Structure 1
Amino acid sequence: MKLVVQVKLLPTPEQAPALEATLRACNRAATYASQVAFAKHLKDRNGLQKEVYADLKATFGLSAQPVVRAVKKVVDAYATLKANLQAGNLGPPTSKYDARTVSIWTVDGRMKGVRFACSPDQLKTLVQYRKGESDLVQRGGKWFLMATCDIPEPAVYEPAGWIGVDRGIVNLATTSDGTNHQGRRLSRYRRWQARKRAELQARQTRSATRRLARRTRKERRHATQVNHVISKEIVSVAQRTGRGIAVEHLGGIVSVARGTFRPWAYIW
């Protein structure tokens, strides 16, 4: 089972410029590879890598491993786009983790001893299960590393029963045990944020636009946290009582009345 762990990097003033230069170089390399893939209709990883490998190393100053990762990012992006269209609906540095520091490849060479912050559980997961790629991300002036971990599949057991979960707007989640997780506070928070966004939009200044983007991200994080707390509470009850979790199958009023549920590992 793949799990992505996000840790916050704490680079020194001397380390930050190298990270920024690395991110720019890898993004430019991925953009170039994407243009070649589109122009020459190259969809497979080996074909695209053969076409652009030498150019990426010579032009963008990348070593072999980030070149290979940039090519894979481009191929994966096109594959995801194709899948989304059918359904109707960058540059990754390599990294090595230590206790509380990480070693990252940069255009100035491998940078060792970059500090990062995470929870004890995240650190334990990284030390035991980190495997695969890591993505360097700069967001809001802060640095993050997205590390892929390969966690063993949990043991499958037959639950003693099920907790049915019905999702909604007024009540974010209602369980078959009769517990209601109301969404009034979240609704009030969203209405307040909507008024603040309207005020910022009316100003039509560059500063207001930046503040609007920050406020939007803050609202999204708050809603995610509320959903996470509710999910954890329901999962905790299920674990304590030895039951599984079933999310309502929205197949119509009849199926709801009959209590038709489908098993689900996690609600959000």
Structure 2
Amino acid sequence: MKLTVQVKRLPTPVQAAALAATLHACNEAATWVSSVAFEKDIKRNFALREHTYTAVKGRWGLGAQAAQHAIKKTCDAYITLKANLTAGNLGKPGSQRYRRATEKPIAFRPEGAQPYDDRMLSWQYTQRTVSIWTLSGRMKEVAFTASPGQLARLALYRKGESDLLFRDGMWFLTATCEVPEAEPNTSVTQFLGIDLRIVNIATTLDGQIMAGRRLNRGRLRERTLRQKLQKKNTPSARRRLKKRRRKEARRVKDINHKIAKHVVAEAERTGRGIALEDLTGIRERVRLRKPQRATHASWSFAQLGQFIAYKARTAGVPVVHADPAYTSRTCAECGHIDTANRVSQACFACRSCGVVAHADRNGSRNIRHRAEQLWRRGAQSTAPDPPPNTGRGTGRKRSTTASGARCASPGLSVPGR
């Protein structure tokens, strides 16, 4: 399975200047290649190379490998654009958003990520340095830092391309690793049901509640601050907005990583599978009042599900997605379905048999029952390949590991990722 490891580079001022010049030249060349591809309507790699390869090498001074990567990066960008247009992610044909995406060529940011293969980049793991190609020539002994676990994964499993990134004044490298998968455990008979909600991020069948109170308060605080700064729109307000960007996303990703690791470890320890709700399309199915829309839109259930899926695959734990319909209204004891069963957000009281339970734990029991029925009928594990960018850094068809702060749950101490 492909994962990525992100390491922080520690270049000297001279090395940083050379890296910045190289990154700007590669992205400027890719933008020019994109304009040629758009003008001539050529989006295939080899056909586009005939029109741009010589010019890219001569005009920007790129090496052979760097020029080919700039051309391929442009083709990949147009493939992604076509997929988004086909899926309807950019609106309907003729809409303003659709026209903005299709009426002009793709442009690359000056500091956009640049791929490096083994001919352009070599790793010295014990010395914690890399040798990397730049416009100024081969630059050796560029230091980097990483945790011991990341260094071990790099040394054992690194294979394929790496991406050079510059973000928030720091340099990073993301390296692709081919990590072996554990043998899937097909002999499981029981599942650990997980109920995903907004107030409580995840509630397990065992009664463990990963509360989202602190996370939701942080989201509200960040959203309120963004609104104030955007309304003020002074140079200092814009600088502060830029400084705080992605802060909320990093916090949410860190918490989801920790919850996913805890859930998978518990299922592996007890020899159970993992049962999740199939919440695909929930944003289109529900109608909300205006004050609830921002909270619902920022609910990161899909990211948490992806993290659980790929971590379960590395551990050999099967994952089954069950139909979530009426799981919050159904009594896990007698099966009675009634809207009145859900007394409040936290309380469930069955109108038929009188059972009183925590609402989210009752939901996790219903999810467990449905997943076990699917498993007995021969359903396959739905733990897929890791999706793109499931962790920090960039890359194609990758996920990453990263470190971060403690989990926001007051009722559960979740270990690090």
Counterparts of 1:65-214 in structure 2, within 5 Å, are 65-89=65-89, 90-93=113-116, 94-99=120-125, 100-160=128-188, 161-214=190-243
Partner of 2:54: 54
| Structure number with higher strand proportion | 1
8 Å Cα contact 1:245/1:265 also seen in 2: no
Percent of aligned pairs with the same residue?
A: 50
Counterparts of 1:246-257 in structure 2, within 5 Å, are 246-250=275-279, 251=323, 253-254=325-326, 257=330
Q: Which runs of 5+ in 2 are unaligned?
A: 90-112, 280-322, 331-365, 375-380, 391-417
8 Å Cα contact 2:2/2:176 also seen in 1: yes
Greater alpha carbon shift after TM alignment, 252-261 vs 80-89: 252-261
Deviations 1:84-128, CA, capped at 9 Å, x for gaps: 211222433432111211111111111111111111111111112
Deviations 1:106-153, CA, capped at 9 Å, x for gaps: 111111111111111111111122222111111111111121222233
Partner of 1:4: 4
* TM-score between the two structures when normalised by the length of structure 2: 0.60
Partner of 1:34: 34
Query: Could you tell me how far apart the structure 1 residues matched to 2:9 and 2:324 are?
Result: 47
8 Å Cα contact 2:132/2:140 also seen in 1: yes
SS in 2 for 1:92: strand
Query: Could you tell me how far apart the structure 2 residues matched to 1:240 and 1:213 are?
Result: 43
Query: Could you tell me how far apart the structure 2 residues matched to 1:34 and 1:153 are?
Result: 38
Partner of 2:246: 217
8 Å Cα contact 1:103/1:111 also seen in 2: yes
8 Å Cα contact 2:131/2:139 also seen in 1: yes
Query: Could you tell me how far apart the structure 1 residues matched to 2:242 and 2:137 are?
Result: 34
8 Å Cα contact 2:277/2:324 also seen in 1: no
Query: Could you tell me how far apart the structure 1 residues matched to 2:153 and 2:48 are?
Result: 34
Deviations 1:196-216, CA, capped at 9 Å, x for gaps: 223322331122112113223
Query: Could you tell me how far apart the structure 2 residues matched to 1:6 and 1:44 are?
Result: 30
Query: Could you tell me how far apart the structure 2 residues matched to 1:154 and 1:42 are?
Result: 42
Query: Could you tell me how far apart the structure 2 residues matched to 1:74 and 1:54 are?
Result: 16
Query: Could you tell me how far apart the structure 2 residues matched to 1:6 and 1:159 are?
Result: 35
The one-letter code sitting in structure 2 at the alignment partner of 1:92 is P
The one-letter code sitting in structure 1 at the alignment partner of 2:257 is H
Partner of 2:402: none
The 1:153/1:75 distance shift into structure 2, 3 A limit, reads farther
SS in 2 for 1:148: strand
Q: Which runs of 5+ in 1 are unaligned?
A: none
Larger radius of gyration: 2
SS in 1 for 2:245: helix
Query: Could you tell me how far apart the structure 2 residues matched to 1:186 and 1:252 are?
Result: 24
Greater alpha carbon shift after TM alignment, 199-208 vs 48-57: 199-208
Query: Could you tell me how far apart the structure 2 residues matched to 1:15 and 1:45 are?
Result: 31
8 Å Cα contact 2:44/2:75 also seen in 1: yes
Deviations 1:39-86, CA, capped at 9 Å, x for gaps: 111122111122211011000100011111111111111111111211
Partner of 1:45: 45
Query: Could you tell me how far apart the structure 2 residues matched to 1:4 and 1:81 are?
Result: 23
* TM-score between the two structures when normalised by the length of structure 1: 0.92
SS in 2 for 1:152: coil
Deviations 1:143-166, CA, capped at 9 Å, x for gaps: 111212222333222152321212
SS in 2 for 1:238: helix
The one-letter code sitting in structure 2 at the alignment partner of 1:241 is T
The count of aligned residue pairs is 268
For the pair 1:228 / 2:254, whether they are aligned, the reply is no
Query: Could you tell me how far apart the structure 1 residues matched to 2:50 and 2:265 are?
Result: 50
Q: CA RMSD in A?
A: 2.1
Query: Could you tell me how far apart the structure 2 residues matched to 1:109 and 1:159 are?
Result: 56
Query: Could you tell me how far apart the structure 1 residues matched to 2:49 and 2:187 are?
Result: 48
8 Å Cα contact 1:245/1:264 also seen in 2: no
Query: Could you tell me how far apart the structure 2 residues matched to 1:232 and 1:159 are?
Result: 22
SS in 2 for 1:240: helix
